[in-house]
Structure 1
Amino acid sequence: MPEEWWTSFEDPALNALVDSALTSNLDLAATWQQFQAARAIVRRQSSFLLPQIDASTRSGISRPQPDFAGGENFQLGLTAAYEVDLWGRIQSGIEAEEFRARASFFDYQAAAMSLSAEISITWYQLLTARNQLELVNQQIQTNEDIMRLIRARFTGGQVRAVDILRQEQLLESTRNQKIFYETDIALLEHQLAVLLGHPPQNELGLREENLPELPPLPETGLPLELIRRRPDVQQAYHLVLAADRDMAQAIRSKYPRLSLSLAGQTRSNSYNNLFREWAYTLGTDLVAPLLYWGRLRAEVDRTEAIKNQLLYQYGQVVLIAFQEVEDALIRERKQLERIEVLERQLDLAKKTNGQLRNEFLNGLTEYLDVLLSLDQEQQLQRELIEARQVQLEIRISLYRALAGDFETERAVAP
């Protein structure tokens, strides 16, 4: 199965829709910005490994001026502070944010995969609704032709008035189906426009298409490969790793901290003498927690509980991934069997309807039998189109369950 799994359908219109959605969908763009924020947090956390340097300046005037403190007073200073990462506490925090950034990236990949599946399903639902509308228009035409026929036979006393009423009822039923499919088409076009990042009022200019043939069944591979491919599983896994680093940081916060500081300052009553004399200060601080009344231990327990929670959630995500593949496989197999049954039913209904119509024209049967047979045939025609569309949805679900990440215009793995 290709990384861009939707290309398996060999549908140029679908390819264009998915490519456009991956670029213009607003929810996906928001998820990408979430990843950018996570990368910025990594850069911010990494800065704690470097010294913090500040510059200060001060200018003032004092009256009266009997000594150095009076008159015009200028000061310049530089200070630097640095914490020595003795136990790796800062590094653990950086690693935690790096894992979260990767999890955010996989979240973006999962959102892109879900979007491609939603676009595909919506597109084929739209095609199905259009095919259903075309079919129901043909059925309306057929029912109107039969209505004219039985009205003519009613004039000759060959059918009853109730037969005309029953035929009118079937005709109105098919017209009601037409309204239903017209509504579906409009709603699906609106949904597709929003998924593409356009207002629902915009015309998409989508041409008429037929449902594609089902591609060959993809190879499912080994369960371990599935875990490595799926971005939602990888996201859950990296959140576990981030929680583990949070726990390490909480443990190391119980150890002493060593800090270094350096300050330089010059001071003068005039700008000319400002840089002639400097004062320097070098200091070290060693701080060890002694009595925090269980606060640090409680933080370790909290981070450990969160890590275990995310570990169990990761296991559940893996199980659901396996379930989605197995569910899609069994549903596809049974849906193929259902389509075969519907095709046989439709074939039998056509033969039965043709036979009953001949018998009715020869006066050998009641029109009610013809009407019931015609109604059943038309319902089976609509059910068969819907069943084929459901078959495509099941295949899309299988592709989604098996798919790994794929490149977009934005996505470059961290």
Structure 2
Amino acid sequence: MIRLLVIIITAFSVAGCTLFQPAVRPDTPIALPDHYALYTTDDPGPGRWWEAFGSDSLNRLVEEALTGNFDVRTAWARLQQAEAVARQAGADLKPTIDGVAGADKNWQQTRTDDAGTTHTQTKTFSAGLTAAYELDLWGRLDALRQSEVLEFEAVREDLDAAAVTVSAAVVGAWIDILSLRRQIDILTEQIDINQRMLKLQELRFVNGQANALDVSQQKEALAAAKAKLPMLQLDEQVQRNALAILLGRADSHNLAVDEATLPDLIPLPKAGLPVDLLAARPDIRAAGLRLKAADWQVSAARADRLPAIVLSADAAFSSDALDLLFSNWITTLAGSITGPIFDGGNRAAEADRTRAAADEALAAYAQIVAEAIGEVEDSLVTETRQTEYIVLLQEQLGASQTTLRAAHLQYMNGQDNYLDYLTAWTSVQDLQRQLVDENATLIKNRVTLYRTLGGDWTGTLLGERAPQKTPSTTSSSKSSSNG
């Protein structure tokens, strides 16, 4: 009867049945809109979208960042830790066997009045094996393993999310550098023109065609243009330093950014539907996996309130002679059952804690989804309004250039003062630099749109380096999807 009971219990345990299944969650953690307020119907765009800029130096920068960036390297280390913890959780489902061996040698001296002194020498050799196995009767250990496997997969998604963020940050810094370079070039040309205009005004003053106020106003305009140059150069160096840190470097001395002008816009990606973000964004996938992991922790905490059965076996060998060691032995097979009778509410409190932690994970999941949809909405509306703004700025520049030509003609004909012409020229100069900056903002927003929409390009880029699932993790992952 006892043997039959042990067989039944063992079969039940080996089956890996989890008594307390995780809560069944809806497909989405929050009500999602049917579509975005603004949407695109273009092609989805390239997977490794930054390659669409057609810059070899940019491609090298992104590739370097995806291996050298500090956040990416930290994510790799965390992934290795999570993989090890998942393997540890799986090991708890298997028996443990420990071995021990030893040898003793004793010397004894005995002195008596009649026989004098006697010496005794003894040797003892020993060896033993100890095995223990907890029957996972209620699925507690399996639930813990499921939780750790899901956490490992979530950390893997964190790695993908870091890659998405870092690639966008590198491209953004690269665009800022090119924008500042173009603004510096425009400002340098404007300074050169102002210097030539100052010489012309000084010549006109000598010839009586201009007054001292005209010359001083031109000197002021030249000084104002020169004063803007150091700050633009400072901003460029700051961006180079930021880019170097993104690459995992300590300095930017050998940073190769070959281009001098802004690139063209890359294709506008298809936004799709808000529900698509659940599968497209790695940070959302990670949050969903952590919610499932938290639900398995609840299952483990509930199962921990029930009795546990542990089987143990010992084999001990001992002898005075090494060659007879395994001829003298004793074995012990034991089973024990332990269960909580009174623990001051500790296990009940742990179950409540895990439920609250699962509720927290659900709220975090819902928040990440809502923020992701908001980021896409912001990028789409920025795309539209920024484009409209640039068109209006171009119209303003065209009107300012017309005003400049008219002011120059009137000044040369003596119909207007030099200040009006100088004001019109300064307005054109400012608008030229502003247009470069706004075009850079438009390009960076396009990059942000690619980042907010996610994608699966990280799977092919990072898959070869990431730890692969073991057969045990694969099987548990499949079973967890049913919960």
TM-score tier by shorter-chain length is over 0.9
Matched, 1:310 2:310: no
1:210 Cα offset (Å): 2.4
What aligned pairs does 1:159-308 form with structure 2 within 5 A after superposition? 159-308=210-359
Amino acid at match of 2:419: L
Q: CA deviation at 1:273?
A: 1.8
Q: CA deviation at 1:58?
A: 2.0
Q: How far apart in 2 are the matches of 1:19 and 1:118?
A: 13
Counterpart CA distance in 2 for 1:378 and 1:197 is: 38
Quote the residue 2:105 is aligned against.
Answer: 61
- SS of 2:165's equivalent in the other structure is helix
Q: For the residues of structure 1 that align with 2:468 and 2:216, how far apart are their CA atoms?
A: 67
Compute the displacement of 1:65 (Å): 9.0
C-alpha spacing 1:411/1:76, structure 2 compared with 1 (3 Å): closer
Secondary structure in 2 aligned to 1:274?
helix
- Distance of 1:370 and 1:323 partners within structure 2: 46
* Alignment partner, residue 31 of structure 2: none
The runs of 5 or more residues in structure 1 that have no matched partner are: none
AA partner of residue 279 (structure 1): I
CA distance in 2, matches of 1:102, 1:170: 61
Say whether residues 1:146 and 2:201 are aligned partners: no
- Is the contact made by 1:339 and 1:384 (CA closer than 8 Å) also made in structure 2? yes
> Residue 25 in 1 paired to residue 25 in 2?
no
Q: Partners of 2:55 and 2:394 in 1: how far apart? A: 25
Paired AA for residue 70 in structure 2: L
Question: Distance in 1 between the 2:236 and 2:267 partners?
Answer: 29
Deviation at 1:209, TM superposition (A): 3.6
Deviation of 1:412 (Å):
6.3
C-alpha displacement at 1:362, in angstroms?
Answer: 1.5
TM-score of the superposed pair, with normalisation by structure 2: 0.82
Please tell me whether the aligned partners of residues 214 and 418 of structure 2 are also in contact (alpha carbons under 8 angstroms).
Answer: yes
Are the counterparts in 2 of residues 5 and 403 from structure 1 also a CA contact under 8 Å? Answer: no
Shift of 1:203: 1.5
Work out whether 1:2 is the aligned partner of 2:46. yes
Query: Does residue 389 of structure 2 align to residue 338 of structure 1?
Result: yes
Matched residue SS, 2:103 = strand
Partner of 2:58 in structure 1?
14
For 1:408, the equivalent position in structure 2 comes to 461
Tell me how far 1:296 sits from its aligned partner: 0.6
Q: Which range moved further: 349-358 or 301-310?
A: 349-358
In structure 2, how many angstroms separate the alpha carbons of the residues matched to 1:413 and 1:118?
28
SS at match of 1:220: coil
Match of 2:323, SS?
A: coil
SS in 2 for 1:408: helix
Instruction: Give 2:412's aligned amino acid.
Output: L
3-state SS, counterpart of residue 86 of structure 1: coil
SS in structure 2 at match of 1:273:
helix
Number of equivalences: 412
Q: CA deviation at 1:3?
A: 2.4
CA distance in 1, matches of 2:180, 2:297: 51
- Look up the match of 2:172: 121
**1:314-393 equivalence runs, <5 A:** 314-393=365-444
Q: Does 1:156 align with 2:207?
A: yes
Which letter maps to 1:14? L
Aligned-partner Cα distance in 2 for 1:109–1:283: 49
TM-score norm. by structure 1 comes to 0.96
CA–CA distance in structure 2, aligned partners of residues 196 and 413 of structure 1: 26
**Cα deviation digits, residues 121-167 of structure 1 (max 9, x gap):** 00000000110111000000110111011111112333222222221
Change (3 A) 1:292 1:412: closer
Quick one: distance in 1 between partners of 2:295 and 2:122?
59
Quote how far apart the aligned CAs of 1:230 are.
0.2
Kindly indicate whether residue 132 of structure 2 is the aligned counterpart of residue 81 of structure 1: yes
User: SS of 2:266's equivalent?
Assistant: coil
Render the CA deviation track for 1:332-365: whole Å, top value 9, x for unaligned: 1000011001111111111111111121111111
Q: Partner of 1:401: helix, strand, or coil?
A: helix
22-31 vs 249-258, which moves further: 22-31
Contact 2:58 2:257 in 1 (8 A): no
- Give the deviation of 1:413 after TM superposition: 6.6
Q: Secondary structure at the match of 1:267?
A: strand
**Equivalent position of 1:50 in the other structure:** 94
Matches of 2:468 and 2:393, distance apart in 1:
47
Deviation at 1:191, TM superposition (A): 1.7
Three-state SS of the structure 2 residue aligned to 1:138 is helix
* Aligned counterpart, 2:11: none
Contact 1:191 1:200 in 2 (8 A): no
CA deviations on 1:64-90 (whole Å, 9 max, x unpaired) are 399xx9721111001100001001000
Do the aligned residues in 2 keep the contact of 1:45 with 1:97 (CA within 8 Å)? yes
Matched, 1:39 2:92: no
Whole-angstrom CA distance in 1 between matches of 2:266 and 2:318: 81
CA distances 1:193-227 after superposition (whole Å, capped 9, x unpaired): 22222231432232234222213321111222111
Taking only the aligned residue pairs, the percentage that are identical comes to 34
The change in CA–CA distance for 1:122 and 1:289 in structure 2 (over 3 A counts) is: same
Equivalent-residue separation in structure 2 for 1:46 and 1:323 (angstroms): 39
